[in-house]
Structure 1
Amino acid sequence: MQLRGGGVLLISIAAAGTVVISSALQQGLQQIRPELDRHSSPTLLRRTARFDPDPSRRRLARLILANQGDVSAARQQWLLHAQGWGDNPLSPVVLKQQALAARALGQQERSDRRWTELLQRFPAAAPSADALYYLGQPGDEQHQELLQRFAAHPAALAAAVDWDRQTQDPRAGLHLAAWGARWPGADAALQRACLRDLGDQQREQVATALAQQGDLDAALNCLGDLRPTAPKTLQWLGLAAEAPLSPEQQAWEQSRSLLLERDWNGAQEALQQQLEQPLTPPLLARVRFWLGLSAWELGDAEQARQIWQQLLREHPFGYYGWRASERLQQAPDALPLESPPAEGLLPKDLDQLLALGIPVEAWEQWRMQRGGRPAESPRELWQEGVLRLGVGDRWIALEQLDRAQLLGAAEGLSQQVLLEQHRHPRNFEQLLDEAAGNEQLDPDLLLGLARQESRLTPTVRSSAGAIGLLQLLPSTAAELDDPAPSEDDLLQPERNAPLGARYLKEMLNAADGNPFLATASYNAGPGAAGSWRNDDLDAIPELWVEAIPYPETRIYVKKVLGNRWTYALLGDRLTNH
């Protein structure tokens, strides 16, 4: 009996040892398994979805696969089957996608079951807004609940548009004025609301929303005899008093005047005074560049080089990074790896959704969490800009990211690299590269031009009538191609890019290859820009730019050429420059 007991004991010890070893091996495997995101290889994702022992990793892999490319609704349904378990933040996202897949396949009853389950299990989660939308009808109890609980969610804005179209209830327009003035279809609802008997505050709110749509005539008609008082309304209507220059702007204008007078000593003193104030990286780069040029013009070449080298080390991007590099005849050091702020750029749940390739869900959750409040701080502008890029809204995203950069959202060079990557997306790069190659143009110059002209948004029309990716006037396009392209043609990037490249080539030829004059000509016209030509264009081109009499063109030239340099720097294509 003792032998049998000892044998049992030995077997128990061996079994326990096996469990410990197995557990240790599993933990070790988990540690060496790669993170899963939208960039993971299809082979890794498929293998993980089927064979990984961790159900959370299996679900991650399936969710990524279900959101890649043109996945059919049937395959999406198969991938996400039985994956809505648990109370993980991804669970309501899975339930929403299951419901949408069933709806796309015509399985209405199955879709409604998923929506109902979503509402019951996760009533406060952002995807529940979609459940209320699809389970309800325009103006009914569920849509009213949607408008109240998830006011800024895109599903609520869509419900408000539907409600207006169905019943023309002015409350729909008022909701859109408060929470989604730019939402597609909001303009009609806003104008119909204006025809109703509104209070003064409501009328002013609707007029402000119409102005945000870009329809100033409709906004003024909505106001009628009412005199607006809200600062936001006055600003959007262009009735606000011109804002006074900030202390930083006043200091720069004083320095700029001295530079244009070639008072290098006076400019140097004024610029030094600016250094005594806290400056964000782009403003600091401007001051340092001109301090270096002042020292150069005063004969102190060594001091100039030291200043420019410091600029190039700490802020190598943009117009002044380029000019410092050109003045030094020295390329900047290799860029460090991009790095977000220590606490992360985005909240973890939104960052995960972006990493998984579900940017729409990240954007909808951001909208809901913020209650439609506009981004204001440098960090918020950076965050919202990145999320808008994810859903393809480059027009507003790049404006927000530019403001974030100007306000100093990035701390240190590694964060600057990340912000500049976000500020310089490469949409239509292949198309623009091909167009540039056909005209023997620097592809980074054409990409930088498109980034400034349309923020890489091909549907943009300017108040002057310019259209598309490279903002061509129909009259200009007619001179570039026969037969003349229609306005609809110019909205197509495939037509717009080659014509814009051809026009830029003409401007470069007329400017004898000078990028400053050619860029100014693209914006202001070759006649006006040609009249500004003088010796400074070749001798001190930076001073020539500051002397451009049109403020818009002055800024435009620096923006385009700074974009060109940053695209080259991030793309490791400095050999082109």
Structure 2
Amino acid sequence: MLVTFTFSAKAYSQLSDELSEVLFAVDKTKLEKQRAAFLRAERGLWSMDNNELLAVVQDLDDYPLIPYLIAKKLSYRISLDDEDSIRAFLHQYDGTPIANSLRSDWLEYLAKRNQRELFIEFYRHTRRVSLQCQFLRYQYEAGADKDYVFSQLPDLWNVGKSQDKACDPIFGVWIKAGLLTEDLILHRIEKAADGGQHTIIPYLRTLLPDDKKYIADRWREVRKDPSNVRHLLRYPGKLPGIEAQIISYGLSRLIWRDENLALTTFERAKTLMAFSDSQKARIIHRFAVALAIDAHPDAEKWLIEASQVEPESETMRWHLAYLLKKQDWQSIALLIEKSAPQLTNENQFQYWLARAYGILGRNDEAKVLYAQLAKERHYYGFLASARLGVQHSLQNNPIEASVDTITKIVNLPATKRAYELRKLERFYHARLEWVHAQRELMDNEKVAAAVVSSAWEWHDQSIFTLSREGYLDDVDRRFPQAFSELMTREAQKNDIPAEWAFAIARRESSFMPDAISPADARGLMQILPSTARYLENRRVSSNDLLDADINARIGNKYLRYLMNKLDNNALLATASYNAGWRKVRDWLPESEAVPADIWVETIPFRETRNYVKAVLAYQQIYEDRLNQKSQEQTVFAQFSNMELLPN
């Protein structure tokens, strides 16, 4: 049978003739007919009986998505009469995404009808907590070893949120058996308060004895408002370790809201509470970072204390940022030289040590460090190359995939299903199948999957595969010119560099056109519906933003809008794309010009700081691929000499 895949001609340039022969052997006519027949059958599925479905399946021959048709039919009006058919399907497609989905639907159906024996027979471990609890309940009721069943429950119960109601019966049996300990209750209250669902704390409070209910009250009030931590007399010392943990948590949040109150409360608390070393370290590190960001007069004292209590990379980075704001180069050099090597061997610290050496007149030492960094393909490597005035390194080493491996990958049933699902724009299920296909490969074969997905122009999956497998030197596949004509056209229309638009899209979505963030940013360039509505001066539907053409048009338009707001400064516009232009203006220097690399290193938001570094590095890579500018004109040549003026 022919390998039924289609690829763009562009993919040929990255493949040997032998690989191309394997990948591009196609029977397009047959595949297109099968695809059309599948869609017709799917639309009429609900009115088919089993004989009609069987006839359709036979007509579809070897079409990869036949199991999706069968599973959809089995899931529709699912009933006990389907037991044999479901058993046969799950056996044939065991472990595949479509079988896992059908199994979950079947188990939910059996649970609703209290079909215990069948549920136990069909159960496989799943992430669905409701099914896990149902399985344990049925095992218990069927006389399974109680100790085993009960041993599974603490981890299910001890989470910082409400669990599914299906868990209540088995939890009730477990609690009635006296196995819910006070330590578990207190631990869950802490989880609920510290980043969890604090609304469950009143329920958890009822499980505590009367003399310990106050702990739940203290956690809840500090979660709702950390300034409540100042009421130290509310902590009677009955449970000193937990009380100290609540105060540690509260102070670590309060320092970001009210520095003076946090500082004075900690001074009082030290005389009343016996903080553990880890609790004290948590407070000191949080105080040091918060005060450094705000340039508090006592920041350096806290930063030094934090380095003495327990060295930590994040605090070290903020100590560096604090000194960079002051441009205290002697202290910067001493900080990095005297700190633990495991903290300062990172590229970031080696770059700033080189910068300090250069300004302090230790030029030979600076050049040695810059030369070492310049060998690497990253933000600091590109900066170092620019400061030396030498060509930066891309270290491009494309994957060498064998014909046998590629043949194996493209002929996997899961690969064929993934390809077809993607052709039908069912991206979520396509990704599930593609990940499943890679699980069927040997470790030394998995990286070759990026060759296949790249040939499909399924760029996000190539990027994710290479990242997951730790193969970072196939630069062409990690930084593809995806949607090239579209992105270039829209960039030119808005008078912005195409390499910048590519870099933004690469950082935002890895060129996944259906990407949706937790904040509801959508598509290639991760546009918020509200942003689209403002730029277009009309309502733009969320689904429209998943259309690559619309998304690229609005995304590039937004880059131009930000440039107009920020005096055509692409660095500030990049930061604004992540944090908003008003926030970025607040970060501009107040009185004197600041070198751009220092400004980036001292951006208060870690997410935005890392975002800007990534986009700049990506832009340099795309600039190389698109334009081949001279060394004097590169992104980093300009960036390394840039200064940002006061707002």
TM norm structure 2: 0.53
TM alignment of 1:81-480, pairs within 5 A? 108-109=57-58, 140-141=83-84, 143-144=86-87, 147=90, 151-160=94-103, 163=106, 178=125, 190=128, 193=131, 199=137, 239=196, 249=314, 252-272=317-337, 276-277=341-342, 284-312=346-374, 314-315=375-376, 317-332=377-392, 335=394, 338-340=397-399, 350-354=405-409, 360-361=415-416, 367=436, 370=439, 398=463, 409-410=470-471, 416-418=472-474, 420-480=475-535
CA contact (8 A) 1:350 1:366 kept: no
Cα distance in structure 1, aligned partners of 2:571 and 2:355: 18
Q: Name structure 1 gaps, 5 residues minimum.
A: 1-35, 49-56, 77-102, 116-126, 182-189, 411-415
CA contact (8 A) 1:129 1:150 kept: no
Distance 1:422 1:207, change over 3 A: farther
CA contact (8 A) 2:412 2:437 kept: no
Aligned residues: 450
Shift of 1:498: 1.6
Aligned equivalent of 1:494: 549
Shift of 1:110: 6.9
1:216-240: CA deviations, max 9, x gaps? 9886777679789999xx89x9549
CA contact (8 A) 2:379 2:614 kept: yes
Cα distance in structure 1, aligned partners of 2:545 and 2:458: 20
Q: Aligned letter for 1:310? A: Q
Distance 1:382 1:71, change over 3 A: closer
Deviates more, 1:59-68 or 1:293-302: 59-68
Cα distance in structure 2, aligned partners of 1:305 and 1:571: 30
Shift of 1:368: 6.7
Shift of 1:361: 4.7
Cα distance in structure 2, aligned partners of 1:148 and 1:128: 17
Q: Aligned letter for 2:32? A: S
SS in 1 for 2:25: helix
Cα distance in structure 2, aligned partners of 1:350 and 1:172: 40
Q: Give the % identical residues.
A: 22
CA contact (8 A) 1:395 1:457 kept: yes
1:286-342: CA deviations, max 9, x gaps? 333222212222233454344323322x21x33223322333344325x565244xx
CA contact (8 A) 2:111 2:134 kept: no
Cα distance in structure 2, aligned partners of 1:454 and 1:230: 37
1:39-81: CA deviations, max 9, x gaps? 89999xxxx9xxxxxxxx9x995874237699434799xxxxx
Cα distance in structure 2, aligned partners of 1:430 and 1:383: 27
**What is the aligned-residue RMSD (CA, Å)?**
5.8
Cα distance in structure 2, aligned partners of 1:67 and 1:305: 58
CA contact (8 A) 2:463 2:478 kept: yes
CA contact (8 A) 1:178 1:205 kept: no
Cα distance in structure 2, aligned partners of 1:332 and 1:486: 43
1:495-553: CA deviations, max 9, x gaps? 22222212211212222222221112222211111011117996421111122222222
Shift of 1:464: 3.3
Cα distance in structure 1, aligned partners of 2:411 and 2:561: 45
Distance 1:220 1:105, change over 3 A: closer
Shift of 1:400: 6.8
Distance 1:158 1:536, change over 3 A: farther
SS in 2 for 1:66: coil
SS in 2 for 1:296: helix
Q: Name structure 2 gaps, 5 residues minimum.
A: 37-51, 76-81, 138-149, 172-183, 198-248, 253-277, 283-309, 419-432, 636-647
CA contact (8 A) 2:11 2:455 kept: no
Cα distance in structure 1, aligned partners of 2:6 and 2:606: 45
Instruction: State yes or no: 1:65 paired with 2:61.
Output: no
Cα distance in structure 1, aligned partners of 2:538 and 2:120: 44
CA contact (8 A) 1:474 1:486 kept: yes
